[in-house]
Amino acid sequence: MQKYKYPHPNFLKITNETNINLINKYEGISLCNIECPDLEIPLLPYRNDNKLIFPTGKFKGWHTHVELRKALQLGYKIEPIKTHYFTKNFKPFKKFVNDMYTERMSQKYEPMKLVYKILMSSLYGKFAQKLNQSELYFMKGEDREKVFNFLDYNYFNKCERYKVDFIKELRYIDNEGNNISYPLISNVTDTENTKYPKFINPIFSIYTTSYARLELYKLFEKVNKVYYCDTDSIFTDTELKTSYDLGDIKLEMKVKKGIIVKPKFYYVESKDKKEFVKVKGCRNLKDYSDFNDLLKTKKNVYIKFSKFKESLRRNLNFNEKILMEKIIDIEDNKRIWKKKFNKNELQKGKAISIN
């Protein structure tokens, strides 16, 4: 955000010309037919069955021009279908990032450093914020009438614009012995809500993500082996130049041994005997013993407090302790593997090929 230029939203042009020159000359996004060669680590993502993969083969999708230009260097074949391009660029975040980073470095206490870090790293996501389409209504008086007005709108217009979920009901038997269900609370979603806040401008978020991905890919090209990578990190056998300057990488640890299962699911032990466990969606995993038990049982059992809506839905007391059991899948479906996962065997995955 500090280093690179961004497309200027006020200088947008749209064309259906199949012109690769627009991609080479201007920043923007294009819908393209894409053919990826047999790369070990492909560059361009593709959403397949609601999961994001980085495949080889032939596919179609929207991508930023900055990534498409890099893809052409890697041997991709690209045929534009529709292009949104911007004739002017600028650096909207440079001063903000510099100011926030200066403040962060000047703080004496870690909690305050964290505040500035969050302010810096969370800004770009606001420009692609999802619409807040749901509202909670307590079914009394005017609120109750509003909900039934939504249902009437659907009925008279023969549509399903408003989705109404009754998440708690009062059930009783009347004097005539009939079972009566009276809605107390409901969740209403306007599926056609197009009232975007003025600050939403997704091109900023899209380009920030693309720039970050390209920074990571630069590291792939510098090292001998990539054992694992995440959004902002890489496990490799090559020692890289590090610093604590803004935008540079730092050395988190030198790994003595580890088990990498799949994205955001691994255990490592550093050379100074410190253990680190990361398993997305799981709790209370502290060391190798916990991690190994998870691999054996494929279950994560923990105690949590029930949240407000969950308590209403399940007829629980608010903040009641409940026992949770989560079933864990230890097979990775984002790359191709010759065998099932085995913690004692290092395997090399291959990119999924699609057509």
Secondary structure element (H or E) that encloses residue 141, with its range: helix 141-157
- Mean pLDDT, residues 314-330 taken together: 86
pLDDT tens for each residue of 134-150: 555 555 566 677 777 88
What pLDDT is recorded for position 183?
61
Per-residue pLDDT band for 80 (boundaries 50, 70, 90) equals: very high
Report the 10 Å Cβ neighbour count for 83.
22
Q: Across-strand partners of 64?
A: 29
Q: How far is CA 47 from CA 131, 220, 353, in A?
A: 21, 22, 13
φ/ψ (deg, to 5) at 306: -70, 140
Better-predicted residue by pLDDT, 138 or 275: 275
Q: Which of 229, 265, 269, 227 is nearest to 249 (CA)?
A: 229
First to last CA, the chain: 35
What pLDDT is recorded for position 165?
74
Better-predicted residue by pLDDT, 319 or 92: 92
- Say which range, 4-18, 44-58, 139-153, 234-248, has the weakest mean pLDDT: 139-153
pLDDT at 311 over 90: no
The 8-class DSSP code of residue 280 comes to: T
What pLDDT is recorded for position 166?
66
Q: Across-strand partners of 63?
A: 30
- Mean pLDDT, residues 328-346 taken together: 94
Per-residue pLDDT band for 273 (boundaries 50, 70, 90) equals: very high
Q: Across-strand partners of 278?
A: 266
φ/ψ (deg, to 5) at 296: -75, -50
Reduce the DSSP state of residue 333 to 3 states and report it: coil
pLDDT at 180 over 80: no
What pLDDT is recorded for position 150?
82
- Mean pLDDT, residues 99-107 taken together: 94
Give the integer Cα–Cα distance in Å for 4 and 126: 19
Cα atoms found within 13 Å of the Cα of residue 203, Cβ hemisphere only: 21
φ/ψ (deg, to 5) at 218: -60, -40
φ/ψ (deg, to 5) at 60: -125, 140
Contact between 19 and 81 (Cβ < 8 Å): no
Contact between 56 and 351 (Cβ < 8 Å): yes
- Say which range, 69-73, 163-167, 207-211, 350-354, has the weakest mean pLDDT: 163-167
Q: How many residues does the chain have?
A: 355
- Say which range, 159-173, 188-202, 239-253, has the weakest mean pLDDT: 159-173
Contact between 204 and 122 (Cβ < 8 Å): no
pLDDT at 168 over 70: no
Sequence-separated (6 or more) residues with CB below 8 Å from residue 193:
131, 133
State the sign of the Cα–Cα–Cα–Cα dihedral 261, 262, 265, 266. positive
Secondary structure element (H or E) that encloses residue 181, with its range: strand 179-190
pLDDT at 345 over 70: yes
| Mean pLDDT over the full length of the chain | 89
Looking at the chain, the whole-number percentage of residues with pLDDT higher than 90 is 66
Long-range contacts of 124-128 (CB under 8 A, 24+ apart): 124/1, 124/93, 124/204, 124/205, 124/208, 125/205, 126/199, 126/200, 127/199, 127/200, 127/201, 127/202, 127/203, 127/204, 127/205, 128/200, 128/202, 128/204, 128/205, 128/206
CA 286 to chain centre: 25
What pLDDT is recorded for position 83?
96
The 8-class DSSP code of residue 334 comes to: S
Sequence-separated (6 or more) residues with CB below 8 Å from residue 310:
316
Better-predicted residue by pLDDT, 117 or 178: 117
State the sign of the Cα–Cα–Cα–Cα dihedral 307, 313, 316, 322. negative
- Mean pLDDT, residues 220-240 taken together: 94
